[in-house]
Amino acid sequence: MMRRWGTLLTLTLALTSAHAQTAVQLSRSDGRTVQAQAYAPAGPCRGVALISHGAGGSDTGYAYLAQALAQWGFLAVVPAHADSGMKALREKVHGLKVREGLADLVADADAYRSRFADLDAARAWARPRCASPTTVLLGHSMGAATTLLEAGADNKLGLRGRDGFDAYVALSPQGEGSIFTADAWKGIRKPVLLLTGTRDEELGGKGWQSRTEAFAVLPGPCQWLGVIDGATHMHFAGHGASRATEALTLRTVQAFLTPTPTGCPAPPAAVRGITLQTK
């Protein structure tokens, strides 16, 4: 067991030191400028991967994931969602408890519209820099909601995603609540990977099991749900909060993004620490 974890941790540390990030400025269609971090692959580009951060986050987060994507051949871009970043969160929290401010921000339709504009700008910047047309959208927390909204999930905010990516990865996805209806995900037919943990409770007080609700409704095929033992919400955000969670996340994401002759990705070999279901 210790040897297996040692191998996973070594892989994580090697990936997160392999590619330095480069700050770039993106131009939105409305004239606003978006700060972002870009991670370029050393060899041929196999696709563009955008990472949407959580509420209160920034473009400098999720380096472990972005650097790994670059190592696997993707041009990874993490845009700063200023309208749902730390400054925006502070404004929401003013006069409220932190959890109430967060709940208000993650259910703000205008914040998601701004996120979609940020992602459009990131994709427009990355497109001429990568020969492959493949695109992947990954997101954590509010970024996971952004990801599934873009994929076409029905919602209570009046938002309509364009489903403009080839595959989606949602870390800590939300269940039914202030954003999504009970069967919100039934129309999503692209490849989707959902990842959560057994200590990944939702803001409203629901247990981590609520984060698996989307998988129960997703129609398949090529759709996965992974549950990491002991992983909390912030373990997926990086910053070294849990190297074990990061290693298992990278292992699963890499397998999900690896092409196979049959079309759907092949699940990795079972290891302790994560339960994986597939459709």
Query: How confident is the model over 14-30, as pLDDT tens digits?
Result: 444 445 679 999 999 99
Residue 8 lies in a domain: no
- Does residue 5 lie in a domain region? no
The rounded distance, in Å, linking the Cα atoms of 259 and 264 is: 7
pLDDT band for position 12 (cuts 50, 70, 90): very low
Number of domains in the chain: 1
pLDDT at 204 over 80: no
Q: Which domain holds residue 122?
A: 26-278
Is residue 18 in a domain? no
For 218-251, write each residue's pLDDT tens digit: 999 999 999 999 999 999 998 777 899 999 999 9
What is the CATH number for 245?
A: 3.40.50.1820
Max CA separation in the chain (angstroms): 55
pLDDT of residue 95: 65
Rounded-to-integer distance, Cα 276 and Cα 21, Å: 31
First to last CA, the chain: 28
Could you tell me if residue 65 is inside a domain?
A: yes
Q: Is the pLDDT of residue 7 over 90?
A: no
Portion of the chain with pLDDT greater than 70, in percent: 92
122 within domain boundaries: yes
Is the separation of the CB atoms in 147 and 52 below 8 Å? yes
Whole-model pTM?
0.91
